[in-house]
Structure 1
Amino acid sequence: MKRRRLVWMAGLAALSPLAALSPGCSQPKPECTVGTALVSPFAAKFTLIEGDEESPCGRKAGTVERVGMEAYNPDENGDQIPDSDRKLVAIQTEEFGGWARGGATVDPNPDLNPFAVGFFTSIEPDDNEICTVSSLAPAEVVVLPSGEGGEGGAGDGGAGGEGGAGGAGDGGAGGAGDGGAGGAGGAGDGGAGGAGDGGAGGEGGAGDGGAGGGGEPTLEPGPRKLEWSNVRLYVTAANLGNQFEAEVTYSEESCSARYKVVGVWPIVDCQVYGENPDPEGEPLPTGKGDESICQDPLSGISPDLKVKCDPVAFVCVLDSESIPAFKK
Structure 2
Amino acid sequence: MKTHRALVWMVPLGCAAWLGACGAEQPAPQCTVGRGDHAVRYTLKTGTGACALKTAEIVGAQVFREPGSGIPPSLVLKPKPLADNEGKDANPSHSVTSLGNFTTEYPTDDGVCVVPELSEARQTVSSESGTTEWSYRWSGLRIQGQAAIPGTQWTAELTYSEGDCTATYEAVGVFPAILCVRQETGADGKPVNVRDPRVCKQPRPGLSMDPAFPITCDESTNLCVLEGQPPVLIP
Q: What TM-score do you get using the length of structure 2 for normalisation?
A: 0.81
Instruction: Look up the match of 1:140.
Output: 122
Q: Which moved more, 1:92-101 or 1:297-306?
A: 297-306
**Deviation of residue 108 (structure 1)?**
3.4
Deviations 1:1-56 (A, max 9, x none): xxxxxxxxxxxxxxxxxxxxxx971011111000101xxx011111110111xx12
Query: Does structure 1 residue 58 correspond to structure 2 residue 44?
Result: no
The alignment's TM-score, normalised by the length of structure 1, stands at 0.59
Name the structure where helix makes up a greater proportion of residues: 2
> What is the CA-CA distance between 1:285 and the residue it aligns to?
1.5
- Number of residue pairs matched by the alignment: 212
**How far did 1:272 drift?**
3.6
**294-303 vs 304-313, which moves further:** 294-303
The structure richer in strand per residue is 2
Cα offset, 1:134, TM superposition: 0.5
Which residue does 1:85 correspond to in 2? 71
Task: Tell me whether 260-269 or 302-311 shows the greater mean CA deviation.
Answer: 302-311
**1:327 matched residue in structure 2:** 234
C-alpha spacing 1:278/1:222, structure 2 compared with 1 (3 Å): closer
Show the counterpart of 1:265.
Answer: 175
Q: Distance in 1 between matches of 2:85 and 2:105?
A: 32
More RCO (CA 8 Å, sep 6+): 2
Counterpart residue type for residue 259 of structure 1: Y
Match of 1:229 among 120, 139, 143: 139
Q: Which amino acid aligns with 1:112?
A: H
Identity %: 29
Q: Which runs of 5+ in 2 are unaligned?
A: 1-19
Structure 1 residue 306: deviation in Å? 1.3
* 1:103-182 correspondence to structure 2 within 5 Å: 105-109=88-92, 111-143=93-125, 145-146=126-127
Q: Which moved more, 1:81-90 or 1:130-139?
A: 81-90
RMSD: 2.3
Deviation at residue 315 of structure 1 after TM alignment: 2.3
Following the alignment from structure 1 to structure 2, what is the Cα–Cα distance between the partners of residues 254 and 278? 44
Q: Residues of 2 paired with 1:239 and 1:249: CA distance?
A: 26
Give the Cα–Cα distance (whole angstroms) in 1 for the partners of residues 60 and 115 of structure 2.
Answer: 15
Larger-gyration structure (1/2): 2
